[in-house]
Amino acid sequence: MLYGPYDIRFVERPDPAIIEPTDAIIRMSATCVCGSDLWPYRGLEPITEPIPMGHEYVGVVEEVGSEVRTITPGQFVVGSFFASDNTCPICRAGYQSRCVRAFPIGAEGAQAPLLRVPLADGTLVATPDSPPKDLLPSLLAASDVLGTGWFAADAAEVGPGKIVAVVGDGAVGLLAVLASKQMGAERIIAMSRHEARQNLALEFGATDIVTERGDAGVAKIKELTDGLGVHSTIEAVGTQPSMMQAIRSTRPGGHVGYVGVPHGVQLPGEELFFAEVHLMGGPAPVRRFLPELIDLIWNGKINPGKVFDLELPLDQVAEGYRAMDERRAIKALLWP
Ligand SMILES: [Zn+2]
C-alpha cells in the first residue's frame, strides 16, 4: 500500500472475495513494480488515503463467480492492467483498455498474494499448461511492459524496412526494442545513456545507440537517417521533452506510438501541424496481444523476462520501489 510520497508499506489486508458473478480470484505466482507506479510514489499523483498498488499479475485461478464460463479454477492465467469484457464494440476493434466496462486492476492492487479480477472471461488468458518457474518472469512481463512495448511498436507501424527510434530506456522502451525486432524493423535506434540498459537494448535487437537527448538527440537521429528522421518512433517516458523529441525525430508521414503516461505534456498546434506525423497512443490494449505474446514466450521465441534485474520477496516491496526510483534497477519482480 502507498501511504504517501516515498512511503510504501507491506501490510495485512482482508482477502479479496467474489463481488460480481463475472469475477475471478487469483493466487499470485509473481507480480512486480511498474514505472508508472513511480508517479504516485514520488507524490506526482497525490493521494488522500492509503491506496493498494500494482497492476501486473500472473497466477492460478482459485475461485470464479457463477457467470464465469471459460476460466476455471486451477488454470494458470495472465491478465492485463484493465479488466475488459472483450465483447463490446471497442474491445472487438482491439482497444480493450478502453472497453465500455473497463476496470483498472490497480484499484484492487496486484502487489498482493491474492487478486480479484473483474470480467474474468474477457480479461484473463490461460496458458497451455502450468508453466515452469523460469517462464514466470516473461509471462509476467506480458501482463504490462511487454504488451505495452508491443502496442507502442504496433501503433508506430513498425515493420519490415522501417527505421525505428525508441525514446526511453525503461522496461517498456527496452521491450519496444524487442517488439520492433520481432516485427522485422530494419534498424532500431535505442536512446539511452545507461550502459546496462544499452546492453540489454542491443541484446533485444537494437542496431544503434544514441546517448544524446533533446535537440541534440533529434540532431543525431537526423544524422543517422540522411536528414529525414525515422519512420517510426516509440515514446515510452511521458514528459514534454520526451514527447517533443519523439515527434521531432519522426519524418513527415511517419508514425509515433506513445505509451509513456503523460505528465504535463502540451502539444504545440503549429509545430504539430507542420510535423505531419501520425500520433497513436494511450494505455495499451494488452489483451489484444496476449494470446500471441504467450505463444511466443511459451515456445521460447522471446525472453522479455530479462528486464527484471531485481527479485524480492513481496514483503520487501518498498526496496523494489526505492531501487527503481533511484534507477538502480530497471524493474523489480516480487515473489508473493
Ligand atoms: Zn469491451
What's 155's domain CATH number?
3.40.50.720
pTM, full prediction:
0.96
CA of 85 to the centre of ligand 1 (A): 4
Mean predicted confidence (pLDDT) in 279-286: 97
Residues 248 and 84: their CA atoms lie apart, in Å, by 35
Give me the chain's average pLDDT, please: 97
Compute how many other C-beta atoms are within 10 angstroms of the C-beta atom of residue 20: 14
Same domain membership, residue 107 and residue 22: yes
Write the pLDDT tens digit of every residue in 29-60. Answer: 999 999 889 989 999 888 999 999 999 999 99
Ion ligand 1, residues whose Cβ is below 5 A away: 84-85, 88, 91, 99
The pLDDT value recorded for residue 156 is 98
Write the pLDDT tens digit of every residue in 239-258. Answer: 999 999 999 999 999 999 99
CA of 70 to the centre of ligand 1 (A): 17
CA of 83 to the centre of ligand 1 (A): 9
Share of the chain above pLDDT 90, in %: 97
Same domain membership, residue 166 and residue 39: no
Q: Which three cell numbers stand for residue 38?
A: 513511480
The CATH number for 7's domain is 3.90.180.10
Write the pLDDT tens digit of every residue in 150-170. Answer: 999 999 999 999 999 999 999
CA of 162 to the centre of ligand 1 (A): 32
The pLDDT value recorded for residue 45 is 82
Q: Which domain holds residue 229?
A: 149-281
Mean predicted confidence (pLDDT) in 81-103: 98
Same domain membership, residue 76 and residue 10: yes
pLDDT at 135 over 90: yes
Q: Tell me how far CA of residue 333 lies from CA of 20, 146, 149, 317, in angstroms.
A: 30, 14, 18, 9
CA of 195 to the centre of ligand 1 (A): 41
CA of 251 to the centre of ligand 1 (A): 34
Same domain membership, residue 200 and residue 161: yes
Q: Which three cell numbers stand for residue 254?
A: 511517419
What DSSP string runs through 105-116?
Answer: GGGT-SSSSEEE
Mean predicted confidence (pLDDT) in 271-284: 97
Neighbouring-strand partners of residue 151: none
Q: Where are the beta strands (DSSP E) in 75-146?
A: 76-78, 82-83, 103-104, 114-117, 125-126
